[in-house]
Amino acid sequence: MNSSQPAQPPIQPIPVQPIPVLVLSGFLGSGKTTLLNHLLGNRAGTRIGVVVNDFGSIEIDAMAVAGQVGDSMVSLGGGCLCCEVDGSELDAYLEKLSAPVHRIDVIVIEASGLAEPQEMIRMLVAGENPAIRYGGLVQVVDAAEFDATRAKHPETDRHLAVADLVVLNKTDRVEPAGLTRIQAELGTLCPGTPVVAADHGRIDPELLFDRRPWTETQGQLSFEDLISQARDAAEADPEAHGAAHEDHTGHAHTVYESTEFVSEQALNPRRFIDFLDRRPAGLYRIKGYVHFGVPGHEERYEVHAVGRFLRFVPGPWGRGEPRRSQLVLIGAGTDGPALLRELEACREPAPQHAPPESMWGVLRYVDRPAQPDAEPEPEPEPEPYDLDSYGDPDPEDL
């Protein structure tokens, strides 16, 4: 071996991002399973692991023809796994679903209709599985039974208070005046929490997770193939085709707007956090990457927001990747140009002069892995968890 040749640098492993875990909550009959089926049928290539915390079976469209591989696990062609478990086995099933062999992109927990969402949050936030991270609570509300549900289950108000996103379902069964009243009451019960109106659980999956392009069939009909065949069969009947076309006009994507922001300049972390704290209720989803460039924090920060839930994930820049911020903002009734003006005001021409404490607001929403062999560095005193603020609660606060 020629000793004059420089030693090759060791290959750095590609960091594996934890899998976000979304909690889908709501009382019996609110439409959780219908919403879940809609997500599964419109997920494109995204691999969704589903944990059902209930007593009984989950009825997923086309499950019977997709293939069942066990009493508690179902494999759908594109790689979706669905488990029926009780709460005491949640950790074990999350560990199973998060195994790399399944290549799951997102996990959705459908909580029991009588479950306490605070307990689900506590379990996830306090969990020690590094392969997963809490991704927010979505509370499904039956608009047609809103008053009756609150009268029968007073804990409804408490559940709404910890939600990151509220799906007001079955809006097609309520008169406009009644719907306006319910939306106003929700604004009082969970101020600052975005409310998405829906019928038959049809919301855009992009509000909750990224959909990957589907490009493969794994030796059998994929879930997308099954859905496509069902639609083709329906459209063979002119009446069914007319109904399908009429149904498409009400799809969720027709009411959402997407705004994109790109900045070659770094963003000021304090001004950016202030923008996030003031974001309008109609802004349901924010995703992308942010470059702050503050000394000691020059890495790329992935940002993910569902409703008022907020998470930053720092990671290395790719080789040759330009240092810039790229964001996609999805919402309804939002003012795109106004959002862009606010983001433009977050630009920072001299990030190298920013003090380290300017990052404290961002670091509140970063998961720090435990380092038992290292002496912990002093951190600023965290603010107490406020149900009307963004981000994860501390387990002790629930």
Does 62 score more than 60 pLDDT? no
> pLDDT at position 5, please?
56
Does 138 score more than 90 pLDDT? yes
> pLDDT at position 349, please?
94
Grade residue 69 by pLDDT with cuts at 50, 70 and 90: very low
Does 103 score more than 50 pLDDT? yes
Q: What average pLDDT does range 215-227 have in this prediction?
A: 41
Q: Return the ∠ at Cα 380 (arms to 161 and 368), rounded to 5°.
A: 75
CA pair distance 35, 188, nearest whole angstrom:
25
Q: What average pLDDT does range 253-278 have in this prediction?
A: 87
Grade residue 2 by pLDDT with cuts at 50, 70 and 90: low
Average per-residue pLDDT in the chain?
74
Does 155 score more than 70 pLDDT? yes
Helix ranges (H only) for 259-317 are 269-277
Residue 44 CA from chain centroid, whole number:
16
Q: What average pLDDT does range 85-107 have in this prediction?
A: 76
pLDDT, greater one: 76 or 184:
184
Q: What average pLDDT does range 30-45 have in this prediction?
A: 83
Residue 201 CA from chain centroid, whole number:
16
pLDDT, greater one: 45 or 213:
45
pTM: 0.64
> pLDDT at position 350, please?
94
Lowest mean pLDDT among 5-19, 203-217, 333-347: 5-19
- Given the structure tokens 């020629």, which residue do they identify? 2
> pLDDT at position 8, please?
56
Q: What average pLDDT does range 77-90 have in this prediction?
A: 45
> pLDDT at position 185, please?
94
Query: Which candidate, 312, 117, 283, 290, places its Cα nearest to that of 207?
Result: 283
Does 20 score more than 80 pLDDT? yes
> pLDDT at position 142, please?
92
- The backbone torsions φ and ψ at residue 344, rounded to the nearest 5 degrees and listed phi first, read -60, -35
Does 374 score more than 90 pLDDT? no
Lowest mean pLDDT among 10-19, 122-131, 234-243: 234-243
Does 336 score more than 60 pLDDT? yes
